[in-house]
Amino acid sequence: MDLRNIAIIAHVDHGKTTLVDELLKQSGAFRENQSVAERAMDSNDIERERGITILAKCTSVEWKGARVNIVDTPGHADFGGEVERILSMVDGVVLLVDAAEGPMPQTKFVTSKALALGLRPIVVLNKVDKPDAEPDRALNEVFDLFANLGANDEQLDFPHLYASGRSGWADESLEGPRKDLSALFDLIVRHVPAPAQIARAEEPFRMLATTLSADPFIGRILTGRVESGKLKVGETLKALSRGSERIEQFRVTKILAFRGLAQQPIDEAQAGDIVTLAGMSKATVADTLCALEVDTALPAQPIDPPTISVTFGINDSPLAGKDGGKVQSRVIRERLMKEAEMNVAIRVEDTPGGEAFVVSGRGELQMGVLIENMRREGFELSISRPRVIMREENGERLEPIEEAIIDVDDEYTGAVIDKLTGERKGELVEMRPAGAGKTRIVAHVPSRGLIGYHGQFLTDTRGTGVLNRIFHGWSPYKGPIQGRREGVLISMENGVSVAYALWNLEERGRLFIGAQEQIYEGMIIGEHSRDNDLEVNPLKGKKLTNVRASGTDEAVRLTPPVRMSLEEAIAYVQDDELVEVTPRIVRLRKRFLDPHERKRQAKVA
């Protein structure tokens, strides 16, 4: 069968997964009466809840005698490690661009990776039926983007289509019939070349592993594209590391291929096809699975380095072990090592004491998703404030800089520019009207300056602003950046919070807890209205007397507390504070000091 391998790439929320839904439906991958969830490729619970793609996934459709393997990729820069690996498996990309927003930061990131690999893109201008769509402007911006990224003449001569993924149509012109996606299917088969690996079918078997997962029945499984040769179930292979060192020898127990949303067992893997193999026990991502006579590993795509690190520790608060069952450092370490093995963009290092682990990754969202997955699995953790990873070059200290692209109502531009360029040491690169009373701001800001900024940004723009960011490069250290200005309210007692005490504390600042909640000494229960920390007693009840007077016995009415999400809590804490995460609740607290350290600090004060 004629074979094509493509990846669908785009900025977050430009409609990749919705388009794949329609491709599956119109190719006959589902029965007519089959019940299929919306965004079928987003199989993970967190993906469905947040409406974003986190893990790259493969599917396969048939069209006029050709089999098309389609890879749906994440749209957020924090999960760019998935995109970097996946692009080595395909021969073409479909670049999806929102006709109203045009190319965005993640569009630039994934496109640069695709062009560097020599892939020829197909551009699909999506959502052209939106009232504010400007497909011609978006198309010109895509061409400019390709030229800026150093595309060659073949890549600049890209075909384009106008489409609406939600409505399920794509046409070569805006005046087309708007019936179905057949124009996109035909263009993929016509424009994307068949895998060059097909010509190497008679050579020894070789495959580069790009994704790792586990199946409860068949164990460890690796997915990748067959670079050469053929493979049947039961044959013996060996695994080579990047440096061509032998890792293990194993017998292939199962070969799975993508057919629609499901994977089906097949008898033989062909060169050029994307398949999943089972039977190995040690081989992992970026390893080469090959015939016994092969001695050289396939080159693996380099992965961009992490930019932030977070310390994961055991939960040592007085309420530890009340919610979750996985609290030991050994269990936490095993889970983090497993994550680092499956996700090449994450690194894990042990700390000297062995009670905490430094996890490095791409951004706060990636860390937040990892922590959210762990708490759902029953883990209890204490999480530190994210720290930016610095670099030394020629004796100079360098820090990561991010490009922030902001769409904001005209009336709020002054506040946003003031915060970015003043307090957070950013540089304004571009500012232009974006239509409909909005302004687009492009700024280069130190990664340190953007940690914890999103919540303040939403407050400054009254929730109407959109902030996108992506790693831009390295720059000399720009000096200290002021963190959170406000202090915190710290509980000085252990027990259950009392409504009357919280009512009296409301004038001190915003509260993070409500009445009848379990609290302990050192727990952060609110934000102080001033810049110093304040120890308070949230257990203090009302004194009872025999005296009755008008107005003294009114019912206590509390302002609803501020409930932070996991990402907001991680970005909010300072260096001497921690986020306590359990399956049921997220708390903030001060770091607990041993008695000697507490005495030493008291003497210094």
With CA atoms as reference, report the closest residue to 569 among 426, 401, 367: 367
Please classify residue 200 by burial: count the beta carbons closer than 10 Å to its beta carbon, then call 0-12 exposed, 13-18 middle and 19+ buried. middle
Q: What is the pLDDT of residue 45?
A: 64
Q: What is the pLDDT of residue 33?
A: 47
* Cα 207 to Cα 229, 275, 485, distances in angstroms: 9, 9, 53
Q: What is the pLDDT of residue 599?
A: 52
d(CA 513, CA 558): 11
Q: What is the pLDDT of residue 580?
A: 92
d(CA 296, CA 336): 30
DSSP state, 421? I
What counts of helices (H) and strands (E) characterise the chain?
A: 15, 35
* Residue 516 neighbours by CB under 8 Å, 6+ apart: 496, 497, 499
The pTM for the full model equals 0.75
* Residue 40 neighbours by CB under 8 Å, 6+ apart: 20, 21, 24, 261
Q: Looking at the chain, how many residues does it have?
A: 605
* Residue 397 neighbours by CB under 8 Å, 6+ apart: 390, 391, 476, 477
Q: What is the pLDDT of residue 251?
A: 92
Q: What is the DSSP string of 19-71?
A: HHHHHHHHTT-S-TT----SSTT--SHHHHHHT---S-EEEEEEETTEEEEEE
d(CA 357, CA 312): 5
d(CA 566, CA 564): 6
- Residue 81 tokens, joined: 């490690």
* Residue 334 neighbours by CB under 8 Å, 6+ apart: none
Q: In what order do the strands lie in the sheet with 169-171?
A: 57-63, 66-72, 2-10, 92-98, 120-126, 160-164, 169-171
With CA atoms as reference, report the closest residue to 586 among 366, 361, 332, 375: 375
Q: What is the DSSP string of 205-255?
A: PEEEEEEEEEETTTEEEEEEEEEES-EETT-EEEEE-TTS-EEEEEE--EE
- Residue 581 tokens, joined: 């995460």
Task: Count CB neighbours of 409 within 10 A.
Answer: 15
Please give the distance of CA 219 from its chain centroid, rounded to a whole number. 26
Identify the three-state secondary structure at position 538.
coil
d(CA 387, CA 385): 6
Report the DSSP pairing between strands 92-98 and 2-10.
parallel
Q: What is the pLDDT of residue 438?
A: 82
Q: What is the pLDDT of residue 40?
A: 47
CB 501 within 8 A of CB 541: yes
d(CA 120, CA 157): 9
CB 77 within 8 A of CB 308: no
With CA atoms as reference, report the closest residue to 431 among 452, 414, 448: 414
Model pLDDT for residues 47-74, shown as the tens digit of each residue: 555 566 666 678 888 888 888 888 877 7
With CA atoms as reference, report the closest residue to 253 among 285, 280, 222: 280
Q: What is the pLDDT of residue 50?
A: 59
Identify the three-state secondary structure at position 161.
strand
d(CA 317, CA 491): 13
* Cα 498 to Cα 319, 516, 517, distances in angstroms: 18, 6, 8
Beta bridge partners of 519: 495
- Residue 432 tokens, joined: 């232009």
d(CA 586, CA 574): 16
Q: What is the pLDDT of residue 218?
A: 84
CB 126 within 8 A of CB 98: yes
Q: What is the pLDDT of residue 77?
A: 60
Dihedral Cα 599, 603, 604, 605, nearest 10 deg? 100
Low-confidence ranges of the chain (pLDDT < 70): 1, 12-14, 28-56, 75-82, 84, 261, 302-304, 545-554, 592-605
* Cα 196 to Cα 90, 91, 192, 193, 200, distances in angstroms: 11, 9, 11, 8, 8
Task: Count CB neighbours of 239 within 10 A.
Answer: 22
Q: What is the pLDDT of residue 30?
A: 53
Task: Count CB neighbours of 335 within 10 A.
Answer: 20
